[in-house]
Chains A and B, each alone.
Chain A
Amino acid sequence: MPVFKTPFNGYAVRFSPFYENRLLVATAQNFGILGNGRLHIIDLNPAGGISELCSFDTADGIYDCAWSESHDSVAVAAVADGSLKLWDAALPPSSNPIRSFHEHAREVHAVDWNPVRRDSFLSASWDDSLKLWTLDRPASIRTFREHSYCVYSAAWSPRHADVFASASGDCTARVWDVRDPGSSLVIPAHDHEILSCDWNKYDDCFLATASVDKTVRVWDVRASRAPVATLAGHGYAVRRIRFSPHRESLLLSCSYDMTVCVWDYRTEDALLARYDHHTEFAVGVDMSVLVEGLLASTGWDELVYVWQHGTDPRAIS
């Protein structure tokens, strides 16, 4: 399966919702501590291998990225200097970036594009806040300020246009409705920082959280007193969690233990597969919406892997 070498350390990877062979990769120099960032748009070649379509540079590291759900060539990046930058790959370099929003006081750690409404996106920042944006406004529409420490992740509900979840270092996950003044649910989901969250794509009540306590937990937001499932198996903090777009109970996670894991939270032996192809922290994973079982991961080893679930990511086809 193809591998793509990035000049900087990988931070996030996302499959395009429009093209099954296109991915977005966010990278940051010097492990995101100091230096530049670069956003790559890469294509899987039918003949095998990966080629770069274009790339965009930033003055600080990029921690996360997301495709626009409305324009197939537009992508947004969460930049460590607190800005959000949008590029249109269809436009010449002189017109890019098409937008640059700078409101967050600290590093922006995550972005997520609304998949239902398709006109807005969220950013989550280390300044303890989340912000809601649209392309047609010069400033954020709303700021969500309740968390008491870095917000590491934001995830729109795949079903409800105005609902999203956030995960924070204050050890809580929160569920929000943008029409409401405050969060509608606070889940003290872990005893340690929560680094990522994602919604079940089939049942709009189930939310997964990933934590520094090395576990992934699945919650039913209707009864959030106790988790529906606790998935233990990672050796270090779980950095990112994604629900499968194809199978209801399938989850994909990556961790500082350098592995990528596939889980089925409904089965007793929940850990379906462990991939240890990365040689540094694995911090970015995604599952293709358009090709079932196609996985992508990136890490601080500056490599992007794209492979079919069940195959060896390192195998050269």
Chain B
Amino acid sequence: MEKSIERQRVLLQHLQPPSSAGSSLLSASVCAAGDSAAYHRSPSFGDDVVVVAAYRTPICKAKRGGFKDTHPEDLLATVLKALVENTNLNPNEVGDIVVGTVLAPGSQRAIECRMAAFYAGFPETVPLRTVNRQCSSGLQAVADVVAAIKAGFYDIGIGAGLESMTVNGPGWEGSVNPKVNEFQQAQSCLLPMGITSENVAHKFGVTRQEQDQAAVESHRKAAAATAAGKFKDEIVPVITKIIDPKSGVEKQVTISVDDGIRLDTTLTGLAKLKPAFKKDGSTTAGNSSQVSDGAGAVLLMRRDVALRKRLPVLGVFRSFAAVGVDPAVMGIGPAVAIPAALRSASLEIDDIDLFEINEAFASQYVYCCKKLGLDPAKVNVNGGAIALGHPLGATGARCVSTLLNEMKRRGKDCRFGIISMCIGSGMGAAAVFERGDAVDPLSNAKHTDARNLLSKDAV
């Protein structure tokens, strides 16, 4: 009996090493996360949803930029086609395409997107729908596809986003219900976005200087990322036409870089700009997101399907949350949505290595970063909407490609990333992504189809 107690002691010590001093290894990141991560990952089932590819078009200035004479659906068709071609996926296998799109009339845009699928070479059997959750539509489209795959509706889907702010601008059709006067919050929904930005700046004390500084940083980081070729992996060049405004001559062009980034942006330059929405306000054209055209698309599938097709796992979709906030200060959305998404992923904010927070306005972006106590070195490392532009429906999908490619570049130290944005009419959305190979059990193990147990000699 004593012997067996002694044996148990020896074996137990293998499992519970005495915490001897000077052993830094027990808290080494890989191991610690492996068994102390608050949620238990079980990739062996292979039924979580993974991103295998994510692309975007360049983001170009509306009405003046590279896509001013491009049909919106051509932007979508380009990224959809890139997804299929770069993954060698049989388009027949796609269960659904969901496109986030905001400003265009709903039914017409849905039809345009359906046509875009045909332009991209998808067969008639692949369905398509649009979704509109304002500025987070692209992310919502991705989340919808993830949810449908998890529900078992299909195994492979595409979440995309499209916006041409050249073609479609904000507007209001018909009259406003007079009941709105009795409901303060409903009334706030009608506020122009710039005013909500002023509200955030005023209510939470974000100074003009802070906002301009954020804008300068955004341009600087985006310019550096472009110069370093960081966007090359995510941008699909668009072959289109452009009409010279003076001569009216039409010209074939290939657009392959974002055209909103201004490297020469300085604090003194921005300080000269007049407030755009309120006379004594602090929100200017220089510290707000740009009005842009662009599209993005994300190919999602169940992990076991990706493994079977031997497609690389770029990232794992861990959680998603959409929350409501006061419409008058809709910009605070990320400050509420990010904790919600973290909760449902059972993670802490310190677990997150990278953030993509949409810079709708510098005011709300600065507020959210401060409120959440984010390390500036982790947020929008390649610039944000102030420099790149904010094609409303496309932004969410754009961020997926930017985030996952940056996580890929950073390697295994960068395990979790978050995408978040505020939403007009008072909401916020956030999604947590995990680096693909952090949980890939057999990613590098080659498949052998034939039964290869014995050599020929034995048989």
Contacts and interface: CB of A to CB of B under 8 A. Distances in A.
Interface of A: 1-2, 20-21, 31-34, 44, 46, 48, 80, 107, 126, 150, 169, 190-193, 195, 212-215, 232-237, 239, 256-257, 262, 269, 272-276, 290-291, 293-294, 306, 308-312, 317
A274 B453 contact: no
B444 interface: yes
B266 to A, nearest CB: 40
B444 A235 contact: no
Contacts of A32: 7, 11
A258 to B, nearest CB: 10
Given A213-B17, A311-B447, A274 B442 contact: yes
Interface in B18-67: 20, 22-23, 25-26, 28, 30-31, 34-35, 44
Q: Is the interface of A mostly helix, strand, loop or mixed?
A: loop
Nearest to A60: B3
A193 B7 contact: no
B412 interface: yes
B96 to A, nearest CB: 29
Contacts of B25: 190-192, 213-215, 232
A234 B458 CA distance: 35
B14 interface: yes
Nearest to B457: A20
21 contacts: A20-B455, A20-B457, A21-B458, A33-B4, A33-B7, A33-B8, A169-B10, A169-B13, A192-B17, A193-B13, A193-B14, A212-B13, A232-B31, A236-B14, A236-B15, A276-B44, A276-B441, A308-B452, A310-B442, A310-B446, A317-B453
Given A236-B35, A291-B455, A212 B14 contact: yes
Interface residues of B, number: 39
Contacts of A33: 4, 7-8, 11
Interface string B227-265: 000000000000000000000000000000000000000
**From B7, B10, B11, B14, residue with most partner A Cβ within 10 Å:** B14
Nearest to B44: A276
Contacts of A107: 7
A191 B22 contact: yes
B454 A291 contact: yes
Contacts of A290: 455
A239 B13 CA distance: 12
A20 B7 contact: no
Nearest to B451: A317
A309 B447 CA distance: 9
A127 B13 CA distance: 16
Contacts of B453: 1-2, 44, 48, 291, 294, 306, 308, 317
A191 B20 contact: yes
Interface in B400-459: 412, 437, 441-448, 451-455, 457-459
Contacts, number: 122
A211 B13 CA distance: 12
A107 B3 CA distance: 10
A237 B442 contact: no
Nearest to A276: B44
B35 A235 contact: yes
Contacts of A126: 10
Contact of A44 (B8, B452, B454): B454
Contacts of A190: 25
Given A192-B20, A275-B441, A257 B454 contact: no
A108 to B, nearest CB: 13
B31 A214 contact: yes
Given A126-B10, A290-B455, 19 more contacts: A20-B455, A20-B457, A32-B11, A33-B11, A44-B453, A48-B453, A191-B22, A191-B23, A191-B25, A192-B17, A213-B17, A214-B31, A232-B30, A233-B31, A234-B31, A236-B14, A269-B437, A274-B441, A311-B448
Contact of A213 (B8, B13, B26, B437): B26
Nearest to A192: B17
Nearest to A213: B25
A191 B18 CA distance: 10
B247 to A, nearest CB: 54
Contacts of A236: 14-15, 35
A310 B450 CA distance: 12
A80 B452 CA distance: 36
A305 to B, nearest CB: 12
B30 A193 contact: no
A48 B451 CA distance: 9
Given A233-B30, A235-B31, A272-B444, A20 B17 contact: no
**From B3, B448, B453, residue with most partner A Cβ within 10 Å:** B453
A152 to B, nearest CB: 9
Contacts of A257: 34-35
Interface string B360-386: 000000000000000000000000000
A239 B23 contact: no
B454 A310 contact: no
**From B4, B44, B443, B445, residue with most partner A Cβ within 10 Å:** B445
Contact of A232 (B13, B28, B445): B28
A20 B458 contact: yes
B22 to A, nearest CB: 6
Contacts of B452: 293, 308, 311
A192 B28 CA distance: 14
A308 B453 CA distance: 6
Contacts of B22: 191
A239 B14 contact: yes
A214 B14 CA distance: 10
B7 A310 contact: no
B38 to A, nearest CB: 15
A316 to B, nearest CB: 10
Given A20-B454, A317-B451, A46 B23 contact: no
Contact of A273 (B8, B10, B442): B442
Contacts of B13: 169, 193, 212
Contact of B412 (A34, A191, A213, A269): A269
A1 B450 CA distance: 11
Contacts of B448: 308, 310-311
B417 to A, nearest CB: 19
A272 B15 contact: no
Contacts of A20: 454-455, 457-458
Nearest to A309: B445
Contacts of B15: 236-237, 256
Contacts of A237: 14-15, 17
Contacts of A308: 448, 452-453
Nearest to A61: B7
Contacts of B447: 310-311
A213 B23 contact: yes
Contact of B34 (A80, A235, A262): A235
Contacts of A275: 441-442
Contacts of B459: 46
Contact of A193 (B17, B443, B455): B17
